[in-house]
Amino acid sequence: MKLTILGTSSALPTSERYPSAHVLNVHERLFLIDCGEGTQMQLRRTRIRFGKINHIFISHIHGDHIFGLNGLLSSLSLMGRKSTLHLYAPENFKRILHSHLNDFEINLSFEIEFIPLSGKDPVLILDDKYITVTSFPLQHRIPTFGFLFREKEAERNIIRECITEYQIPTVRIPAIKKGADFITHDGVVIKNSDITTPPAKPLSYAYCSDTKYFERLASFVKGVTLLYHEATFDKSMDDLAALTCHSTTLDAARTALNAGAGNLLIGHFSSRYRNVQFLVDEARSIFPDTHAAVDGTSYMVDETITP
């Protein structure tokens, strides 16, 4: 898994920070998460191919998370896209989407499969060969959802030398990779653990967009490898955070700590902060493995944050 940050600003973009947008690369399949203003520009700057994005996830219907979507859809159509685009968004966004397309007389060259988000509990919204994606409710001023991407456990790795040593037929290899023992022509049982090695630990990434702190959130992302959590305000502004249903640095850190996350990336910074290092330092007072998300930077999703 590789995460590319396209935007880390909250409502007002700055000269160095774009509004919210992330791209998650899972086995060379790209997932766009939120689509703030300027997303197309950032996709070009980071050399991410538009056509490889087949799934777009929208956390909620506030401008700094969706103002880039209409332009991106139009560009995809101008590029001649034919394959279906899967769009996950709060259920009332479908009306807004079709209104825009009709008002501007836009006839897209591709179909949009709209998957509505709703409910007060986590919901599995995507399940394929490599990953599952679960949406979960956040607590903001309007219906808002986070997303949890989890890799499925891979098959075991067969030791090449064992294939020759035990004369393992090719037809038996798929079962062995799934955990089966091997029985030789002489009836000797070769334990699976002697001829295979375990796969790499599945990775996971959670995106927690605009939300106030609530204890149940940590249970939605329990054990996640990398947690992105908004930290719009510093700890001295907890009253404003509560009023606007946003989080402070300490809110984000508490959620990461309670979830047992591997690493924490904070973002969605208020434009009042030109330098965000002190926000990171505040969060590290509770959760040491905290880092600031940086526009245009890619991170490997593993136990150690690697830009």
pLDDT band at 92 (very low <50, low <70, confident <90, very high): very high
**Residues that are catalytic:** 64
Percent of the chain topping pLDDT 70: 99
Strand pairing class (131-137; 123-127):
antiparallel
The residue-averaged pLDDT of 112-132 equals 96
pLDDT in tens, 11-32: 899 989 999 999 999 999 999 9
pLDDT, position 302: 84
CA 188, CA 269: separation in Å to the nearest integer?
Answer: 62
Q: Is the pTM higher than 0.75?
A: yes
CA 165, CA 132: separation in Å to the nearest integer?
Answer: 37
Q: Which domains does the chain have, with CATH numbers?
A: 2-154+200-300 (3.60.15.10), 161-197 (no CATH)
Structural tokens at position 253: 């850190």
CA 205, CA 234: separation in Å to the nearest integer?
Answer: 24
Beta bridge partners of 182: 190
- Nearest C-alpha neighbor of 166 from the set 196, 124, 145: 196
Q: Is the pLDDT of residue 133 over 90?
A: yes
CA 286, CA 254: separation in Å to the nearest integer?
Answer: 7
Q: Is the pLDDT of residue 56 over 70?
A: yes
CA distances (Å), origin 169, targets 143, 156, 159, 173: 55, 17, 14, 7
Angle of the 277-284 helix axis to the 249-259 helix axis, nearest 10:
40
Question: 286 near 250, Cβ under 8 Å?
Answer: yes
- Nearest C-alpha neighbor of 212 from the set 258, 253, 243, 256: 243
The residue-averaged pLDDT of 260-286 equals 96
Could you tell me what percentage of the chain is helix, strand and coil, using 3-state DSSP and rounding each to the nearest 5?
Answer: 30, 30, 45
